[in-house]
Amino acid sequence: MFRNKLNRDDKLLLAFDARVLSEELSKEVGFGKIVYGENYATLKVKTPALAGDVRKLTDKIGTLLASPSPPDLVLNRHCAECEFQNRCRQKAIEKDDLSLLNGMVEKERTDFNSQGMFNVTQLSHTFRSRRRPQGLRDKRERYHHSFKALAIREKKIHIVGGPEMKIEGTPVYIDVEGLPDRDYLIGVRIKAGDSVVQHSLWADSPSDEGNIWREFLSKLIEVENPVLIHYGSFETVFLKRMRQRYGAPPNGSLVANALESPII
């Protein structure tokens, strides 16, 4: 296992292997070990504690395999790991399936089905643009699956409201790349007059992680009234985690304010 952190799925896979081995040997396999991460750490797992969950999952798989018809096609976040991803997506497009709307959970699909909506086109016709009350205009508009369905049907990009970015300072754009449990690269772009300065801060090993964080802070200190700008939640988690691990500038300083109030 190449990852530095394990999850429940990893333990269930081990418990499944233990069950198969137990049946072959006609002898209970009481525990297994997972070797993972860059330092080859070892985790001992008591497989009998997971036997019930494994049995439920294998029974469910057996029912699906025994069925004369294939299960309903539903695109999900695991599709990227499957060799049939392209084929399933093409079928979903042909069916105009609701699972094309990523972010929609099973309960929401079931609710839409109960209302007679089984595809994206049907759902798209339910969206109605409404004028927002004066008291809610400064608040974020709630997410509408029907609005996204409309965008897919019309093959257009729709924007709710008028996007505004109030930047009172020097824009500093950041992009962090890495694995869920470790960061490798901080990309920084700083606007300096009519030009842009770019930095790429690499961490070749876990020990370098603190070094690139301190180097990143030193770049921010050189900027006049920095304002951090990034896209997505990955950078939000990164900024919080690095401050907890390696510290942050004094409270109230310009750099500390930039770290605490980035623009997403």
**Residues 33 and 45: beta-carbon distance below 8 Å:** yes
Whether residue 90 is predicted with pLDDT greater than 80 in this model: the reply is yes
Is the pLDDT confidence value at 166 over 60? yes
CA–CA dist 112, 120 (Å, integer): 10
Residue 80 — very low, low, confident or very high, per pLDDT cuts 50/70/90? confident
Closest CA to 121 of 154, 73, 76, 72: 154
Q: Please name each of the domains of the chain with its CATH number.
A: 8-66 (no CATH), 79-154 (no CATH), 170-260 (3.30.420)
pLDDT of residue 159 exceeding 70, the answer is yes
Q: Which of 37-41, 163-167, 179-183, 230-234 shows the lowest mean pLDDT across its residues?
A: 179-183
The DSSP string of 57-116 is HHHHHHHHHHSSSPPPP---TTGGG-TTHHHHHHHHHHHTBGGGSTT--HHHHHHHHHTT
Please, how many CA atoms are within 13 Å of residue 250, restricted to the half-sphere of its CB? Answer: 2
What is the rounded average pLDDT of the residues 202-214?
85
Q: Which residues pair with 170 in a beta bridge?
A: 226
Higher pLDDT, 180 or 87: 87
Q: What is the largest CA-CA distance in the chain?
A: 74
Structure tokens at 233: 């939640």
Express each pLDDT in 1-24 by its tens digit.
667 788 899 999 999 999 999 999
What is the pLDDT, as a whole number, of residue 62? 92
Q: What integer is the mean pLDDT of 187-214?
A: 86
- pLDDT for 132 beyond 70: no
Instruction: Name beta bridge partners: 202.
Output: 185
Q: What is the pTM of this model?
A: 0.54
- What was the pLDDT predicted at 157? 85
pLDDT of residue 125: 93
3-class SS letters over 105-139: CHHHHHHHHHCCCCEHHHHHCCCCCCCCCHHHCCC
Is pLDDT above 70 for 137?
A: no
pLDDT tens digit sequence for 29-40: 999 999 988 778
Q: 39: which 2 tokens?
A: 């330092």
CB 36 within 8 A of CB 69: no
How confident is the model at residue 252, as a pLDDT? 83
Structure tokens at 174: 């950041």
